[in-house]
Chain A
Amino acid sequence: MSAVAGYAAPATGGSGRGTAIGLLLVVLGWELAARALVGAFVLAAPSQVLAWLIENRGLMGRALAETLGNAAAGFVLGNLAALALAGIALAFPASQRIVTGVALVVFCLPLVATGPILRVIFGPGDGPQIVLAALAVYYTTLIPLLVGMRAAPATWFDLIASYGRGRVSALIHVRLMASLPYLFAGLQIAAPAAFLGAMVGEFTGAERGMGVLTIRAMRALDVEMTWALATVATAVAVAAYLAVGAIARRVLQDAPPIILAPPRAEGAEAGIGRLLLSLAGVAVAILVLWWGAIAVFDLNPFFAKGPQDVARALIWAPNAAMARASLGAALGETAVFLLPGYLAGLAAGAGLAILFVLAPAVAGTAMPLAIALRSVPIVTTAPLIVLLLGRGALGTIVLVAVMVFFPTLVACIHGLKQAPGQVIDVFDSYAAGRLQRLIRVRIPAMLPAFFAAARMGVPASVLAVTVVEWLATGAGLGSMMAISASVSDYNLLWSAVALTAALSALGYAGVGLIEVRILRIYAPEQLT
């Protein structure tokens, strides 16, 4: 198993001044832009945001407390679930592929549809927000944990065995300690993600919280309020990210590794046969869980549709052809926004990373900012992008691109730094130019990180596009899920959910396949 991970120490240490300057420039640029665009009613200046926040501090404080509470509960639940799943994968190594596969598919469930479904199950209250927050975090904790549990050299386990001790001692003295840095890396990404999950949960019929205010601000076209909410959400996300990082540094005496992506599936080389086998295993496990959950929780068959209902609705029901056609049309609309945004985000992230390497002075200032911005729940800024760019294609595509851009940038910069120093020395000894070095050494070294980001970008961009469609554009799968939920067409809703999750997970796996093929040519040593 291999994973893309590394230590963030150089990026976070010693460049506090660069970050401060960068932040100052951003705020300044924002203020100036707002003054320039004052008649357009799209951009509120930082000074106006501040004024709004002071004026409405009571309202804002209550909403923030509510959302923070839900996010915290979801954070705890989601991470406990991740720990439990990691425990299962560790106790039964053969189950790891199934566990991670099922975890991925569940992670790919479109929050905009699980929100309304959970709302029906839980009724009014905090349940859906908390569950969505948990769903948003558990995968990003599970994967680093699985990597970390195995990130210890074999001799450490030999040492334990040579004193006649077994797996329990190895777990306590080696695995848990060795996985701590990875756990913190996961928690660091999870903290802002929990906030995002809670907010999306509040979009769907909650009574209180930041998500509710966001919807209200959007409906009222209240520019200042929209910007104030996005600013607070961003600040909270960055603060949560930094806080977990600070705790990690105290506990570990080292910055946590940047976990860029899950490990490639073990034996990605093993061939199509094994791949199909594990795919089938995951599919069976999903179907069993789906059926089981409906049966165990005794859910009302009126809205809780099982796999057989979805199959009927799409295949042999009298109006199946119509359902297929409308799903297909929605899928087409979504793809038109999703694919350009996804590709643009990847290209911009990788391209800017390469520019940074060619101009290292810029990277010193920009990197800490990019790492912090990676944690911003971009989706919560969706209303801003709608305000700025309108409800058309451009706004959606930009949002998807931004969602993919930051993780890609951070991953690629990190990957570019991984180029082995000795190889670079060899190139220097031939007086090879910067460009040569970039093409022959650094870019191949960047590829694993790039693909790791590209894989994680799939569910992220699906989340982004469905949220915007559902909040704003009224087109595509996101909007279809919203409409079918509101008219109680649960067959269509569940079909859309199943289709979205399956395509998202398959897209993730597909990027993984391309990754193996390309790495085999350009970076074969990365596949061992």
Chain B
Amino acid sequence: MAPEINGPPGVICAGLAKTWPGGVDAVRPTDIQFAAGQTTALVGASGCGKSTLLRMIAGLETPSAGTIEIGGEPPAQTLRKAGLSVAFQDPSLLPWRSVRGNIELALSLARRPVDRAAIDQLIALVGLEGFADTRPAQLSGGMRQRAAIARALATEPRLLLLDEPFGAVDELTRQQLAQDLPRLWEARGTTTILVTHSVTEAVMLSDRVIVLSPRPAEVVADIAIDLPRPRAPEDARKPGFAAHVDAVFAALSQAGALRDRPLAAQ
């Protein structure tokens, strides 16, 4: 496959596996394809290996076996071009930089021009108008998460990797963020991989949900979410939505993922 220059890239994992030094098997040899321009959710019990999988795709961890291609290139190549962004569960903002400063840092690390007006616009878009020059310590948890998403989007990545991006905030804030922010990357047609342990969130945000087994991670179900977009929070009560949520839960419980950590409450 020739590397695509313009559109969002597809991601192909072939025989991908990770064994930590010390012998913990985190990911069993796995084939997964993430379609270009789609949002794919990875769900599974805590500790099953979701982050490990995502970090291998992000080029932050070397696989023990198998290959990853992002638009036909290995992750290292994509990294070199700063073609992807990661949003971590912890917002990981540098405390000595303001919101704007953190976004500017991402842009300069990615060797992109720093356009003040564009940054202001992005800050407003994530709902942080008036907080551009505030440091993270003065922001609430939800606001920090918004800033982290703004930073991840600032470099206009073709591949967006989200590791429980709404995981570190309370439930109400989480719902609010899950409603406000995904629009931003959906509008850009980015290829998005979203790790979450909330089934409702996965169904709400994705075109497709991949269910992983408890550690070592293995694909146990691949469920297409063919619900119309845009989706509103009320849609969660509609039968079509509920059917998808049930399907994901069924796959999770079949995999034994529900044995030690019930997810229904999420």
* Chain A residues within CB distance 8 Å of chain B: 153, 155-156, 158-165, 169, 173-174, 177, 180
Contacts and interface: CB of A to CB of B under 8 A. Distances in A.
B90 A162 contact: no
Contacts of A163: 79, 82, 85, 106, 109-110, 155
A155 B90 CA distance: 8
A165 B109 CA distance: 7
Interface of B: 55, 58-60, 79-82, 84-86, 88, 90, 92, 94, 96, 105-106, 109-110, 155
B92 A160 contact: no
Given A164-B109, A169-B109, 19 more contacts: A155-B88, A156-B92, A158-B86, A158-B88, A159-B88, A159-B92, A159-B106, A160-B109, A161-B60, A162-B59, A162-B86, A163-B79, A163-B106, A163-B109, A163-B110, A163-B155, A164-B80, A164-B110, A173-B105
17 contacts: A155-B88, A158-B55, A158-B58, A158-B86, A158-B88, A159-B88, A161-B59, A162-B60, A162-B84, A162-B86, A163-B79, A163-B82, A164-B79, A164-B80, A174-B94, A177-B94, A180-B96
A491 B55 CA distance: 61
Contacts of A158: 55, 58, 60, 86, 88, 92
Contacts of A159: 86, 88, 92, 106
Main secondary structure of the interface of B (DSSP, over half): loop
A254 to B, nearest CB: 9
A173 B105 CA distance: 8
Nearest to A158: B60
Contact of A155 (B92, B105, B110): B92
A160 B155 CA distance: 13
Contacts of A160: 109
Given A158-B88, A161-B59, A173 B79 contact: no
Contacts of B96: 177, 180
A177 B94 CA distance: 9
Contacts of B59: 161-162
In this complex, the member of B79, B80, B96, B110 whose beta carbon has the largest number of chain A beta carbons within 10 angstroms is B96
A164 B82 contact: yes
A46 B96 CA distance: 45
B136 to A, nearest CB: 12
A169 B105 CA distance: 11
A156 B79 CA distance: 16
Sorted from nearest, which 5 A-B pairs have the closest CB atoms? A164-B79, A163-B109, A155-B92, A162-B86, A164-B80
A162 B105 contact: no
A155 B92 CA distance: 6
Given A162-B58, A163-B155, A153 B109 contact: no
A329 B239 CA distance: 92
Contacts of B106: 159, 163
Contacts, number: 50
Nearest to B135: A253
A156 B60 contact: no
Contacts of A161: 59-60, 79
B254 to A, nearest CB: 33
A173 B93 CA distance: 12
Nearest to A162: B86
Given A169-B109, A173-B105, A173-B109, A162 B94 contact: no
A528 B252 CA distance: 35
A112 B5 CA distance: 70
B79 to A, nearest CB: 4
A135 B2 CA distance: 61
Contacts of A155: 88, 90, 92
B80 A162 contact: no
Contacts of A165: 109
Contacts of A162: 58-60, 79, 84-86
Given A161-B79, A163-B82, A164-B79, A173 B94 contact: yes
A156 B92 CA distance: 6
Contacts of A173: 94, 105, 109
Contacts of B110: 163-164
A470 to B, nearest CB: 46
Given A163-B109, A169-B109, A173-B105, A156 B94 contact: yes
B231 to A, nearest CB: 29
A164 B60 contact: no
A163 B55 CA distance: 13
A528 B77 CA distance: 37
A153 B95 CA distance: 12
Contacts of B88: 155, 158-159
A161 B58 CA distance: 9
Nearest to A180: B96
Contacts of B86: 158-159, 162
Contacts of B85: 162-163
B73 to A, nearest CB: 12
A194 to B, nearest CB: 27
Contacts of A180: 96
Contacts of A174: 94
Nearest to B148: A159
Nearest to A152: B94
A156 B94 CA distance: 7
A164 B94 contact: no
A464 to B, nearest CB: 39
A169 B82 CA distance: 14
Contacts of B82: 163-164
Contacts of A156: 92, 94
B90 A153 contact: yes
Nearest to A161: B60
A169 B84 CA distance: 18
Contacts of B55: 158
Nearest to B106: A163
In this complex, the member of A155, A160, A169, A174 whose beta carbon has the largest number of chain B beta carbons within 10 angstroms is A155
Contacts of B94: 156, 173-174, 177
A162 B82 CA distance: 7
A327 B31 CA distance: 73
Contacts of B155: 163
A164 B90 contact: no
Nearest to A169: B109
In this complex, the member of A158, A177, A180 whose beta carbon has the largest number of chain B beta carbons within 10 angstroms is A158
B109 to A, nearest CB: 4
Nearest to A181: B96
A5 to B, nearest CB: 16
A42 B82 CA distance: 72
Given A162-B84, A173-B105, A153 B92 contact: yes
A158 B163 CA distance: 13
In this complex, the member of B55, B82, B92, B110 whose beta carbon has the largest number of chain A beta carbons within 10 angstroms is B92
